[in-house]
Chain A
Amino acid sequence: MLRQLFNFKGGVKPQTNKAPSVQAPIGQAPLPSRLYVPLHQSIGGSPNPLVQPGEQVLKGQLIGSADGWLSAAVHAPTSGTVLAIEDHVAAHPSGLPTLSVVIEPDGRDQWAARRPLDHRTLAPERVRELLRDAGVVGLGGAVFPSHAKLTAAKTVAVEQLVINGAECEPFMTCDDLLMRERAEESVRGIAIFRDLLAARRVLIGIEDNKPEAVAAMQAAVLQLGEDYEVVAVPTRYPAGGAKQLIRVLTGKEVPASKRSTELGVQCFNVATVYTAYRALAHGEPVISRIVTLTGNVEQPRNWEVRLGTPLRDLVALGRPKADTSNYLMGGPMMGFAIPDLAAPVVKATNCVIAGSPSLFPASPPEMPCIRCGACAEACPHELQPFELYWFARARNFGKTQEYHIFDCIECGCCSYVCPSHIPLVQYFRFAKSEIWSREREKQAADAAKARFELRNARAEREQTEKAERLARAATARTAERKALPVKADAAASQPAASVEAAVTTSPVDAEAVKKASIVAAIERARAQREAVQPRNTEQLSAGQKKEIAAIDARRAALADPAKPADATSERTGG
């Protein structure tokens, strides 16, 4: 029975140019003289280096441990010596450096201990951990850690698991060759993801311009007795986008605000599935990937390349033609110009294209937008690129967000069809990164404000505390000054003084010491009480004076039974 396929809106049909690189089988790229393995190769936290310069490492040895849950580990691609952990140019449009482990291979290519495991005997949590520690990330180009995508939504069961073998980018054939040559292992790997997500159905989507890959996958599925469905989808860029492929195969449209698992569907690239299988069933972490080397080269071909191999060494394998002017990483639609060939192959490097003026003619000059709406028709996400373009160009970023710029997958369809040759995607990338940077700045400013306010509150608190302390000290001092003559008086006549004297003569008597300290405390308290100066005592009328005298007399009478002959009350009274 033929499966009913759905359609996604928009899309373009560029020339595929896939034929040159599928003539030869996947080749094993030779060991380069130096490997530059960047520690940060995936979305999420940057792994921490675990090795020291001068240390010997084995092939597959962990050299960077995952930092947090959303991160993936990095491993040594071959055995050798760590020369340095230093900044090296990154495989990034900016050409900026990133912390990399420089390894000099020893040529023996000796594996570290590998532990093959069967995922069915392990707890799902453990499998996710293993995948993270094996550095399994989405190899379609987004390099999102796969283990983080392997959790089903709480309320919705996973109906369909979509395996993405569409490979819609022109020139790129790495997934095609992988499915042709390593179909069985890829199909075995699907079982891991299916079991973790408890998916009911598995759909393998492959563009219909790859009949060999479709046949190979179908044969492998049959041979392994699985019930996966291999579906040939119409060739139309960007059918390999996760949301587009999900739409084509299941008819489900994933809204911007939701994850696909909330609709009961999840999507993985076929190369990711393959590496997950190698990681678990063979204990081999992700240390290499298949890279298409094509374009203006004598020998276009797919190579299995160790991560960290400098791009210069890789392109030399294809023997670039004399008129090669630049190199692209990724496809011609979504890729970027490599600023420096010293940059290494990383997990995101799916394709390297040598460009020449005849292959990629310089874009004609940008003309004004004529509001033809061709970009809106081509947009697979049903956005309005022309509106986004105006707002991005005017740096009106609030408006670009209102027009859902973050739904844009930067597929390049709009730039491709634009009759005015406007580099629309460039504007959208600019707007997106500007918005992100502003958000970062805003967060930093809010945090700074919070710290500033805390600091002010602290300063204020400290000041009031200090003022209180000073006030207390001042009262204590005045009390002392008042108490001193009192003590002198009291020492002559009070029994308290005799007790104190007794204490000093027989210090061994603990009971007496205690009593004496109590008495002394009472004395201090009394002195403090009396230190309170009566205010408004000048210019008193005779009646008031009489009243005060009467009160003092009453006080003295009250104090009498506890302490007879209160000399001080007489003093204050007078």
Chain B
Amino acid sequence: MITTLAIMALGAVVLGAALGYASIRFKVEGDPLVEKIEAILPQTQCGQCGYPGCKPYAAAISAGEADINLCPPGGIDGVRKLADLLGREVKALEAEEKPKQVAIIDEQTCIGCTLCIQACPVDAIVGAAKQMHTIIEPLCTGCELCIKPCPVECIYMLPIAENLDNWKWKYPVIEIKRAA
């Protein structure tokens, strides 16, 4: 009887110690789900979802506060991936999907106020006070956050045209057989 109790107690102590050790040794910092969600989001940091960046939106999705269809730059493809990851239903996008675009500064009109530089979340605008600003196109994520602050309305969005570098083979079109 005593031996049995001793064995059980010993087992409990050993297993408890092992679990306690494992919880410290293998502690996961942060929420891995948030990271996975964030990896799917397009990192435009545009705030169109209503959250101040992609990470807060990811956290909100993970916490169940936000829906998965609030990210227009991610498009329906992004919604599909999020639905796959989270096991939710695919929903139509809240806003309409736009083609990928870049911001362009009309350098003739720019007065060098630096407001757009402060607004750009990804440091894609160069310039200095009272100097002309310009956008580094490859770095621009097309978030449109620079358009509103511009006092002279010299920034506009331009859809990215197809060129040899971003050209893709198209999905083969299946011709429907003509009815005789």
Contact = CB atoms under 8 A, between A and B. Distances in A.
Contact of A451 (B41, B139, B167, B169): B139
A455 interface: yes
Interface stretch (B59-67, B91-99, B170-178): B170-178
B112 interface: no
Interface stretch (A73-81, A179-187, A326-334, A442-450): A442-450
Most A CB atoms within 10 A — which of B42, B43, B54, B123?
A: B43
Nearest to A454: B123
A92 B169 CA distance: 11
Nearest to A434: B168
A448 B45 contact: yes
B162 to A, nearest CB: 6
Contact of B170 (A96, A365, A430): A430
A223 interface: no
A34 interface: no
B84 to A, nearest CB: 10
Interface stretch (A109-117, A253-261, A421-429, A488-496): A421-429
Nearest to B80: A395
Report the interface size class on chain B. Answer: 20 to 34
B141 interface: yes
B122 interface: yes
Most A CB atoms within 10 A — which of B122, B123, B174?
A: B122
B53 interface: yes
Contacts of B139: 447-448, 451
B168 A433 contact: yes
B42 A92 contact: no
A455 B168 contact: no
B74 to A, nearest CB: 10
B167 A427 contact: no
A455 B42 CA distance: 17
Interface in A346-382: 365-366
Given A365-B175, A449-B54, A451-B123, A437 B43 contact: no
Interface residues of A, number: 31
Please report whether the interface of chain A is mostly helix, strand, loop or mixed according to DSSP: helix
B43 A98 contact: no
B4 interface: no
Most A CB atoms within 10 A — which of B41, B138, B163?
A: B163
B169 A430 contact: yes
Interface string A446-467: 1111011011000000000000
Contacts of B123: 451, 454-455
A145 B141 CA distance: 33
Interface string B149-168: 00000000000001110111
B174 A90 contact: no
A448 B39 CA distance: 12
A325 interface: no
A430 B42 contact: no
Contacts of A437: 166, 168
Given A426-B172, A445-B42, A96 B167 contact: yes
A33 interface: no
Contacts of B169: 93, 426, 429-430, 432-434
Contacts of B172: 366, 423, 426-427, 430
A448 B136 CA distance: 12
Contacts of A449: 38, 43, 45, 54
B121 interface: yes
A67 interface: no
B114 interface: no
Contacts of B174: 366
A426 B163 CA distance: 20
Nearest to A90: B164
23 contacts: A40-B164, A92-B164, A94-B167, A96-B162, A365-B177, A366-B172, A430-B170, A437-B166, A437-B168, A445-B41, A445-B42, A445-B141, A446-B43, A448-B139, A449-B38, A449-B54, A451-B122, A451-B139, A452-B54, A452-B121, A455-B121, A455-B122, A455-B123
Ranked nearest first, the 4 interchain pairs of A and B with the lowest CB-CB distance are A445-B43, A429-B169, A433-B168, A426-B172
